[in-house]
Amino acid sequence: MTGLEIDAISKRYGDVVALREMTFDVRPGELFGFVGSNGAGKTTTMRIALGVLSADAGQVRYAGEPVTHETRRHIGYMPEERGLYPKMKVGEQLTYLARLHGMPAADAKASAEKWTERLGVAGRRDDEVQKLSLGNQQRVQLAAALVHEPRILVLDEPFSGLDPVAVDVMSQVLREKAADGVPVVFSSHQLDLVERLCDRVGIVRSGQMVEIGAVSELRAGGAVRLRVDVPEAGDGWADGLPGVKVLGRKGTVTELELGDGADDQAVLKAALATGPVREFAREQPTLADLFRSVVTTEEVPA
Amino acid sequence: MSTPGTDIRMSPASAVGLVASREISTRLKAKAFRVSTAVILLLIVVGIVAIKLFTGGGGADSTVGYTAATAGFAAPLKAGAQAVGENIDTSQVADEAAGRAKLADGSIDALLTGDGKSVHVQVKKDLDGKLANVLQLLSRQVALDQQITAAGRNPAEFNAAVAAARFIEDPPLEQPYDYDGQQLVLGIAAGVLIYLSLMLNGQGVAQGVVEEKTSRVVELLLSTIKPWQLMAGKVLGIGVVGLVQMVVIGAGGIIAGLATNVLTISVSAAIGTVVWLIVWYLLGFFMYSIVFAALGALVSRQEDVAGATSPALMFVIAGYVVGISVLPSDPGNTFVEVLSVIPVFSPTLMPMRLAMGGVPVWEAVLSVGLVVLLIPGLIWFAARIYRNAVMRSGAKVKLRDALRAA
């Protein structure tokens, strides 16, 4: 069963290449984290998936079929540029948006009530959107993406601007949607959140997907680090060990990165040679570490 | 596991209908709309009542006082005034001194003094020109009567014979059209209404488009409906709202006019005027608002709307100004006649001419036909600009870029 597939999408604005054969897929029931630095092409990709922008090349498919105008009505979308009618009441606005996605009037109204309840803005249904705080507007924006009970979710920075309680509600909602078999893709700069929430992650740089896979896979694929607590060692105790890079020393703890061909046992021997070793730990890089190393790698010319 | 398939089929018509009904309900509920409609209606009714008070039957054009000696002039003065369409009231004063006092306090406009053998008049400051004409007629009459009496004839018989004389008009070579004052007023009112409505609602379309751009809601909308559906729904919705406003104001004005007897034309003529007004409002509105929607899409801030729509607005204003300044004094002006058939000017000029009457059928049909033919072209042109510009926020999009970009 295939979910949402982004297949070799390219887009340029004049001389600027925004996307270069962007390719990934989001399987049904999967939470997919879309990360990359600002301007890497995340928003452009999502806009193309929603048909708001047209691609120069490539295809977006859902369940194996190219996405059409009709399938797009099944997508719940949260644009990066938040937008609702400022002078329209929350309840009316959500009902209207649900109907624009093809929901019958009565269902649309019931769904608007359900989602305002769920997202904690039920008391503000009869207020104009502009009268709500930014945080509450954000919750209404989420409700707008969910109100037509979409079968696909494409959310651009859904967590930005949310308080911790709203982040928890949002995470819960996304997990439930995924559990119902909905492919969920969202972009975020909150990498700890992405790491906790997502089944798979894609890292983009300059309009290209550079790393893609389960968080654990990606972390396992990164360079191994060692944390060694050697109280009696002098500075430079680990220098000269083949394939070992000293990242820094804090107090008695030295952090090392093991390159190809490095032997952790050789490091341990060197550490023991300095005196007692209180801690010797192997650490996997966090998503944030991976992200940094990926996006700071020198740009590959086209 | 979600089940794909069973796509949501929503016809373009229902998408357009949803957008239009949102426009209608939010606008009809808006305080600004209700207030502006009420104010315009109130102004029109007040205007009609004011016309009634200042010109309608009641007040005389001037009041002339006479003494016992000049009492003989009172009746011929009134009769003479009537013959030239003046309405003069007469009132007797005790003597010339009392009459001068009344002149001074303004309760009479002129005082007939003297011994009653020839016409003498005194006023406070200036003698009104029309009154002077009437007095001139009176003094001729008096002189004539005296001559007739001197010749030994009876002035009353003589006058009766003269009054009975009539001229006979042979059929004119060309059938002229008689523009009466009321039709002129109707024509001007029609012009003002159409103009106001195009300005308010046409600008409303442009502002609505920019509102969606400024609030960024357009991206959410375009992820489910097509740009042309959004544009068409907006134009249609605002058009309906404008139509409601127009009917309320137009009908209110006509009813007030007929009720106060300011308008004495037949009800069918009045209804004809309202119907033409509605037809031309719709044609003018759709023609211009499509263009306004496209021009509005070029900018991202409400402050820039006026600047963006001004090229199109100039045609509306030009038509209105030409009509309102030329037609009242020269309803058959050839230049206006030609302009009123050209689509960009016809929505403002043709309804004025139609309300005044005397428009050949072929001109009325041709002007409607040309606008109807132009509208599909404008839709194509506007949809292209709108589609290309509406997602671009920030600086004003150049018209050329919007037309070219894919």
* CB-nearest partner of A97 from B7, B220, B393: B220
Cα separation of B317 and B330, whole Å? Answer: 19
- Residue B120: count other Cβ atoms within 10 Å of its Cβ: 16
Confidence at residue B261, expressed as pLDDT on a 0 to 100 scale: 75
> Is residue B57 scored above 60 in pLDDT?
no
- Amino acid identity, residue A57? A
Residues A33 and A84 both lie in one domain = yes
Minimal C-alpha gap between B245 and chain A (Å): 22
Residues A67 and A152 both lie in one domain = yes
SS3 breakdown of chain B: % helix, strand, coil, rounded to 5? 70, 5, 25
**Mean pLDDT for chain A?**
87
Residue A276 lies in a domain: yes
Q: Locate all alpha helices (DSSP H) within B10-124, ordered by sequence.
A: 12-29, 31-55, 74-83, 96-105
> Residue A191 sits in a domain of what CATH number?
3.40.50.300
- Interface contact flag, A81 B26, Cβ < 8 Å: no
Pick the range with the lowest mean pLDDT from A129-133, A166-170, B5-9, B189-193: B5-9
Residues A117 and A256 both lie in one domain = no
Minimal C-alpha gap between B398 and chain A (Å): 16
Q: Is A69 an interface residue toward B (CB < 8 Å)?
A: yes
> Is residue B204 scored above 70 in pLDDT?
yes
Q: How many CB pairs under 8 A join A and B?
A: 83
Average pLDDT over residues B293-308: 89
Residues A34 and A142 both lie in one domain = yes
- Interface contact flag, B7 A68, Cβ < 8 Å: yes
Residues A80 and A229 both lie in one domain = no
Residues A48 and A189 both lie in one domain = yes
Residues A30 and A129 both lie in one domain = yes
Q: Is A104 an interface residue toward B (CB < 8 Å)?
A: no
Q: Is B18 an interface residue toward A (CB < 8 Å)?
A: yes
pTM reported for the whole predicted model: 0.74
Looking at the DSSP assignment, which residues form a beta bridge with residue A205? A208
Contact in structure between A78 and A158 (CB atoms under 8 Å): yes
Residue A294 lies in a domain: no
Average pLDDT over residues B190-199: 84
* CB-nearest partner of B215 from A53, A85, A181: A85
What ipTM does the predicted assembly reach?
0.79
Average pLDDT over residues B227-236: 91
Mutation target among B9, B223, B388 for the A interface, most CBs of A within 10 A: B223
Average pLDDT over residues B378-398: 82
Residues A160 and A227 both lie in one domain = no
> Is residue B1 scored above 60 in pLDDT?
no
Residues A87 and A122 both lie in one domain = yes
Locate the domains of chain B by residue range. Answer: 63-158, 179-404
The architecture (CATH level 2) of B63-158 comes to 3-Layer(aba) Sandwich (3.40)
Q: Locate all alpha helices (DSSP H) within B106-170, ordered by sequence.
A: 129-150, 155-164
Q: Is A265 an interface residue toward B (CB < 8 Å)?
A: no
Q: Is B31 an interface residue toward A (CB < 8 Å)?
A: no
For B14-52, what is each residue's pLDDT tens digit?
Answer: 899 999 999 999 988 888 888 988 888 888 888 888 877
Confidence at residue B178, expressed as pLDDT on a 0 to 100 scale: 63
- Interface contact flag, B226 A1, Cβ < 8 Å: no
Residues A184 and A261 both lie in one domain = no
Minimal C-alpha gap between A57 and chain B (Å): 14
Domain count, chain A: 2
Q: Is A151 an interface residue toward B (CB < 8 Å)?
A: yes
Q: Select from A178, A195, A213 the last residue of a domain.
A: A213
Maximum average pLDDT range among B56-70, B229-243, B350-364 = B229-243
For B130-161, what is each residue's pLDDT tens digit?
Answer: 888 888 888 888 888 888 888 888 888 887 88
Domain that holds residue A247: 223-283
Residue A299 lies in a domain: no
Residues A207 and A71 both lie in one domain = yes
| DSSP annotation string for B53-73 | HHHSTTS-SEEEEE-STTGGG
Q: Assign A95 a pLDDT band (cuts: 50, 70, 90).
A: very high
